[in-house]
Structure formats: structure tokens, C-alpha cells
Amino acid sequence: MSASAAARTLFTEAFGSRPAGIWSAPGRVNLIGEHTDYNDGFVLPFALPQRTHAAAGARGDGRIRVISTFDGAPVEVALDELDDLFPAHGTADRPTVPAWSAYPLGVAWALLHAAGPDAASGLDLAIASDVPIGAGLSSSAAIECAVAIALNDTWDLGLDRVALAAAARTAENDAVGAPTGIMDQMASLLGQPGAAVLLDCRSLEGTVVDLRLAEAGLALVVLDTGVTHAHATGGYRERRAACERGAQVLRVRALRDLTVADLPRAARQLDAETYRRVRHVVTENQRVLDTVRSLRTGGAGSIGELLLESHASMRDDFEISVPEVDTAVEAAMTAGAVGARMTGGGFGGAVIALVPSGRVDDVQDAAATAFAASGFAPPTTLRAEPSAGAGRDA
Ligand code: ADP
Ligand code: MG
């Protein structure tokens, strides 16, 4: 059954009525620009064909019920309880809800704050997805954005896509408690078939950039190492803190405000580790802009080296790669990829490879063989066809 049909069926089974509509939002892959989003910098993600579907229907009683195929039991709260569930900074004795439900309920909470408490009547919501979970493909943004766009229509909030992305991010940061940037939500809401979205994470301006993959005879492949990351913890927070420290010492609002010309000064003023972190972000921002320029002038075939440089920077300067990820990059290159890099927050997750269309199977086989030789669990691979952003399906 498709995820769309699954959401519809789940709705009817759980709530005993037909949904008013079905909305969906995709997962995303970032082509280049890693750990630049929370530094006010540039990213270049695109939307995946895999989507999270939300079947929704309004209720008149001010209550919200959510259910997901992910966890068979519905979660029910009153809309006016949301502020107790998600105070801006949690108090110890607040009521708790199942962890997954903080994503959809957090979006409802954030939207009510954005649109005003009178905006909503109540809601039933059933969720089904074919976005792999915890693979760095942002199943979290997919569920948030599917819910955000469903609520925007169902409650007639009239918010634009940038405002919906901001509410989805607020849900992830303040309701779930994961300190992520806004890239994933913008990609999920602004994606276009065949294109990536150049996002300026300071101005929130999104520019659609055609990838023209078919013209170049290329395909994008995701190799998921299956090693799980935990964005909400450890390494991610530590890297963010290093970036904030670097910006503070160098007296800029965010690392976005530095260019490669500032790096010698940074080397003098920062400790060696903070300097490497800063160097990754500064050079990565430049690589995103260079990638967009290369795509426009030389086509997709001309960005391979930039992808590889990005990977080396994450591995050596930002130190967020792991052996499985490096193995996947190396296997892809050996099998004929024109470029490959880790994508996502790091400490595991997935690799994106730019591959001649006729070599896709070779790359997948090479990764499987290399993983077996290293004693790693087999990677899962998917063809990442740049696809449409969030919308109403039925
Ligand atoms: P990623 O975004 O890389 O997939 P995250 O840890 O950021 O990984 O988000 C995954 C979490 O999002 C899941 O553990 C779950 O709580 C929630 N989630 C994602 N998709 C669904 C879904 N279809 N149903 C319920 N919860 C979901
Ligand atoms: Mg996520």
C-alpha cells in the first residue's frame, strides 16, 4: 500500500470517519553545504521522492488527536494544553507525550503561536511515511512539513511556505528539543522536480537551481550506512558550540560573515581545534556558491571535485565522519562516481554520490562489497531523483 493510502486507511480506522484531505511532504538530501545552516550560511538541498503523508480532518471541540503507522496508539490532547506540554524552556514536572508525537503536536503548537490561538478548532491527523527514519534523510522535516501544510489548509491559516518552515523548525527545536537549523524544512517545502534549492539561511531566500542531471547523463544515489546519528545529542551540540565560540572570538554575528580571506586571522586568534571547525564552515559556504555557479555554467558533471572537497573537510576539519561513511565514499569513487560526500549531520547516516546513469548498479554493488569486506552491515541504497516539495494530494 502506498503511504498516501496507508494514511487514509489509518485515519478511517482510528477515527471512524473519512479525512477531509491528504497532504504530504518529502524527505530531503543535501547536495552540499553541511553544518552551514545554523551559521547563517548556504545550503543546497533537494526534495526526495520519499514522502510523509498526513490525512487530516478538522474537529469542533478544540482537541487534537494524532496517530502514526509508526506507533499504533493515538495520542490525544486539548489544544489549550499544548503550552503546558511545550513551554519555551521545559519545566521538570510538565506532562509528557510519546516522543514521536512531539513532532506533529509541536507543529500545531508552533502554528497556533504564529497564527493566534483563535485560528484553530481541533484536528484529527493520521500519518504514514516511506521516508527512511533516522537515515539523515530528514523524516523529521517530512513529518513536520506534512503536518504544517495540512494544518495551514485545514485551519485556513494563510501562512506562506517560509512561515510554515519556521513553525516546523520551532517544533523541532523547542518541542522535540533538537537544535537543528532550518534547511530541512525549507527543502521539504520549496523543493521542485529536477532541481535543488539554494538556501540563504540568513535571509531565508530560496532559489531553485536546475540540476539538469539527465542532460549530463548523471544520477544521484544515496548510500545509507545504517549507522544512526543522534542530532539532539553530543557531537552536534558540540560542533554548534565550537562555531558560536569561533564567531564570538572573531567578532562576527555568525561564521557566514567570514570568507576564506579571513582564515589567516582566524588561525592566529583561535585554538587549533576551533580553527578547524571554523575553516570547514567558511570553505563549505564557498563550495556551495561555487557548486551553484558550476551547475549553471558547466552542468552537473562539473561539481564532482567540490563534493569530494566537502567530504574531506567534514572528515578532517569538522571531524564528523565515521569509517562506514568514508568507505561508502571511497567505494562510490572506485566504481566510477564523479563525486561523493557524506550528507546530513554526520556521525553516521548517508552518503550522496553523483554517478553516470549507467554506473548506478556498479556503485551500489561496490558499496555492498566494500562494506562486507570491512565487516559492516550492508548499506541500503536509493536513487535520489530530485522531486516536488510539500503539497496537497487529495
Ligand atoms: P531523520 O530526520 O534523519 O530521519 P530524526 O531523528 O531527526 O531522524 O527524526 C526521526 C524521528 O522523527 C523519529 O524517531 C520519530 O520520532 C519522528 N518521525 C519521523 N517520521 C515519523 C512518522 N512517520 N511517524 C511518527 N514519527 C515519525
Ligand atoms: Mg531529522
Amino acid 234: pLDDT? 83
Rounded to the nearest angstrom, the distance between the alpha carbon of 125 and the centre of ligand 2 is 20
Mean pLDDT for the stretch of residues 226-253 = 87
Is the pLDDT at 39 greater than 50, yes or no?
Answer: yes
Note the pTM of the prediction, 2 decimals.
0.94
For ligand 1, is residue 50 a contact (CB within 6 Å)? no
Domain-by-domain residue ranges, the chain? 3-31+47-190
Per-residue pLDDT tens for 364-389? Answer: 999 999 999 999 999 999 999 999 99
Cα 129 to Cα 132: distance, rounded to the nearest angstrom: 8
Mean pLDDT for the stretch of residues 106-118 = 89
Cα dihedral 270→274→277→279 (10° resolution):
10
Asked if 184 is an active-site residue, the reply is yes
Average pLDDT, whole number, for the chain?
94
Lowest mean pLDDT: which of 3-12, 48-57, 274-283, 340-349? 340-349
The residue that leads in pLDDT, 377 or 234, is 377
Mean pLDDT for the stretch of residues 224-242 = 81
For ligand 1, is residue 231 a contact (CB within 6 Å)? yes
The residue that leads in pLDDT, 98 or 92, is 98
For 3-31+47-190, which CATH class?
alpha beta
Instruction: Tell the burial category of 41 from Cβ atoms under 10 Å away from its Cβ (0-12, 13-18, 19+).
Output: buried
For ligand 1, is residue 139 a contact (CB within 6 Å)? yes
Choose, from 37, 40, 174, 184, the residue flagged as catalytic. Answer: 184
The residue that leads in pLDDT, 329 or 227, is 329
Taken in order 316, 262, 304, 28, the sign of the CA dihedral is positive
Where do we find the cell 521538570?
92
The residue that leads in pLDDT, 134 or 169, is 169
Per-residue pLDDT tens for 202-222? Answer: 999 999 999 999 999 999 999
